[in-house]
A and B are shown apart, each in its own frame.
Chain A
Amino acid sequence: MEVFGIWIAAFLTLCIYSFLYRDNPFYRFAEHLFVGMTVGYGIARSIHQGFIPLAWTPLWAAIIGESPAGYFKLIPICIGLLFFARLSSRHSWLVSYPIAILIGFGSGAMIPNAFQAYIFEQTRGTIEPFGSIHAGTLSGWEIFEAVLMIVGVVCTLTYFFFSAEHRGPVKWISKVGIAFLMIGFGSAFGNTVMGRVALLIQRVDFLINDWIGSISALF
C-alpha cells in the first residue's frame, strides 16, 4: 500500500513539473486535483474540528436533556447562520450582523496588541541602542549598526511621506530610502530563491530515494 502511495505521489509530482515544458492535460489534472483535495480536506476538517465539537455536540446534549447549558450555543449558531442570508436578495442585509460582530471582536483583540507589537516595540527597538551608546556599552560596530538603522528607517519613511513634495533635501533623503528598500527586496528575493529551491530539492530527493528506491525494491 505504501509503494502504491509513493507511485501516485511520484506521478503527480511529474505531472506538476511537466508544466516547465508547457501547459498540458497532465498538469491541469494534477492542479485541479490538488485544489479540490485541499478544499475538500479543509471543509471536512472544519466540520470535524469546528462544527461537531463546538456546535452540534453541546446542542445535542441539551436536546436529549444531558446538559441544558448547551442551548446557549443556539446564540452563536443563529448568528453564524445569518451568513447564509446573503443567498436571498431580500434578506441579504442580515449578513451585516455577523460581519459586525467579527470585525468588532477582531478590532478589539487586535488593535491594542498590534499597537504594542508593531508600533511601540519597533520604535523602542530603533531608539533603544542610542541609550546604550550614551551609556558607553556599545562597540564601534554596534554604534554603526544603530546609526545605519535609524538612517534607514527615517529615509524609508520619508519615501512614503506624500504630504510634502519630493524636492530638494526630501528628494535625496527619499532616494536613500529607495536604496534601503532595494536592499530589502534583494534580500527577500534571495531568500525566496532559497525557499523555492528547497521545495525542488525535497521533491527530487523524494523521486530519487523513495520512488526510484521503490522500483529497485520491486526487482
Chain B
Amino acid sequence: MFEKLLNMNRQIVFILVVLAVIIPMLLNIRLPLAVSEPTQKLYDYIDELPSESTIMIAFDYGPSSFAEPEPMAEAVMKHCFDKGIKVVGLTLDPEAVTLADNVMQKIAEEKGAINGIDYVLLGYREGPIQVILGMGVEIASVFESDYTGTPLSDIPMMADITNYDQIDLLLDLAAGTSIDAWITFANTKYGLKIGAGVTGVIVSEMYPYLQTGQLVGLLSGFLGAAEYEKLIDTPGKGIAGINTVSFVHLLVVGLVVLGNIAFFIQQRKEQG
C-alpha cells in the first residue's frame, strides 16, 4: 500500500488539487480570517489620510500574474474612493496597461468616481529607472498626457500635482522586482512613502523592507487582498480566493505528511 502511495501517478495529485479548488468554490465555504499586522499597517496609513489626498498606484503585473494583485487593487481603490482620496495610476509593465484601465474603470463606475477628477491613469512609459527618477522632478516630463491622450495640463486633478511632493503614498502592486526600483529610487532619493501588494512568490523578500520602515505596509497575495476586503467590510475576489487556497494548502500539507510517513515506513521495511 505504502509502495503504491510513493509511486502514485502525478495526475491523481492534479485531480485532487482541481477538486480542492472547485468544491469549496461551488459550495461557497467561508473560513475565519484574522488580519495580519502588515495589512493592518497599510490600511491604517491610507485610512488616516485626509480627504483630497493623493495615492499613486503602480500596476506592475501582467496577465500571467494578475490573479493576486487585482483583488488588492480593487479593495484599495474602493477604500480610497470611499474616503475621497484621489488615485493616480501608472505602470512600469507594458502588459499591464489594459488590466489597469479595466480595473480602474470598474471600481470608478461602482463608486461613482470621475476620470480626471477623482482618478487618472497615466499609462506606461519605457525605462523604469528613468520613469521613477523623472517623476520625482516633474511628472509631466515623463507622462505628458494620460492613457487616453489627454494632456496632463487639461486634467483637473493633476493641476496641483507636480511631483512626488504631492503624492502621499505610492502603492506598488507587483509580481516582479519593481518594488526594489521604487524603494531604491523613489523612497531613498525622494522620500516617497511606499506600500506594496505582491504575489505570494515574492512576498518573503519584502519583509526586510517592512521591518526597516521602507514599506509602510504590505499585502501578501490572496491573503493580503482578503484581509483588506475584511477591513473595508466589502467581500470580494480575495476572500473568495483565500478560502479555496486554504483547502489546497490543507491538501498539500496532507500529501506531504502522508508521503513522508509512507517513505519512512517503506525505508524501515527495507532495512528490517
Which residue numbers of A lie inside 8 Å of B, CB to CB? 20-21, 38, 41-42, 45-46, 49-50, 53-54, 106, 109-110, 113-114, 116-118, 121-122, 124-125, 149, 184, 187-188, 190-205, 208
CA distance A64 to B115 in the complex (A): 36
Q: Is the CB of B208 within 8 A of A125?
A: yes
Tell whether B67 is near chain A: CB-to-CB under 8 Å: yes
Summarize A's interface: helix, strand, loop or mixed: helix
Across-interface contacts of B199 in A (CB, < 8 A): 195, 198
Across-interface contacts of A49 in B (CB, < 8 A): 94, 123-126
Across-interface contacts of A192 in B (CB, < 8 A): 200-201
Q: Is the CB of B187 within 8 A of A191?
A: no
Across-interface contacts of A110 in B (CB, < 8 A): 129, 184
Q: Is the CB of B221 within 8 A of A116?
A: no
Q: Is the CB of B11 within 8 A of A21?
A: yes
Q: With A188-B204, A194-B223 known to touch, is A204 a contact of B25 (CB < 8 Å)?
A: yes
Across-interface contacts of B244 in A (CB, < 8 A): 197, 201
Residue of A190, A191, A193, A201 near B25 (CB, 8 A) is A201
Across-interface contacts of A193 in B (CB, < 8 A): 200, 248-249, 252
Q: With A188-B204, A192-B201 known to touch, is A121 a contact of B212 (CB < 8 Å)?
A: yes
Summarize B's interface: helix, strand, loop or mixed: helix
Which of A41, A53, A187, A195 has the most B CB atoms < 10 Å from its CB?
A: A195
Across-interface contacts of B180 in A (CB, < 8 A): 117
Across-interface contacts of B201 in A (CB, < 8 A): 188, 191-192, 195-196
Residue of A41, A109, A118, A149 near B129 (CB, 8 A) is A109
Tell whether B54 is near chain A: CB-to-CB under 8 Å: no
Q: Is the CB of B248 within 8 A of A197?
A: yes
Closest 8 CB pairs of A and B: A195-B200, A125-B212, A202-B67, A194-B200, A191-B200, A50-B126, A195-B201, A188-B204
Q: With A21-B11, A114-B184, A194-B223 known to touch, is A106 a contact of B129 (CB < 8 Å)?
A: yes
Across-interface contacts of B245 in A (CB, < 8 A): 194, 197-198, 201
Besides A109-B185, A114-B184, A117-B180, 19 new A-B residue pairs in contact (Cβ under 8 A), listed by A number: A20-B11, A20-B14, A42-B94, A45-B94, A46-B126, A50-B126, A109-B129, A113-B188, A124-B212, A125-B211, A188-B205, A191-B200, A192-B200, A198-B67, A200-B248, A201-B241, A201-B245, A204-B21, A205-B237
CA distance A205 to B241 in the complex (A): 9
Which residue numbers of B lie inside 8 Å of A, CB to CB? 11, 14, 17-18, 21-22, 25-26, 64-68, 94-95, 97, 123-126, 129, 133, 144, 180, 183-185, 187-189, 199-201, 203-205, 208, 211-214, 220-223, 237, 240-241, 244-245, 248-249, 252
Q: Is the CB of B21 within 8 A of A198?
A: no
Residue in A closest to B203 when the chains form the complex, CB atoms? A191
Q: Is the CB of A117 within 8 A of B95?
A: no
Across-interface contacts of B185 in A (CB, < 8 A): 109, 113
Across-interface contacts of B11 in A (CB, < 8 A): 20-21
CA distance A192 to B223 in the complex (A): 13
Across-interface contacts of B205 in A (CB, < 8 A): 188
CA distance A92 to B97 in the complex (A): 36
Q: Is the CB of A204 within 8 A of B124?
A: no
Q: Is the CB of A198 within 8 A of B133?
A: no
Across-interface contacts of A184 in B (CB, < 8 A): 204
CA distance A216 to B197 in the complex (A): 36
Distance in angstroms from A103 CB to nearest chain B CB is: 13
CA distance A208 to B23 in the complex (A): 12
Distance in angstroms from B188 CB to nearest chain A CB is: 5
Distance in angstroms from B71 CB to nearest chain A CB is: 9
CA distance A191 to B207 in the complex (A): 13
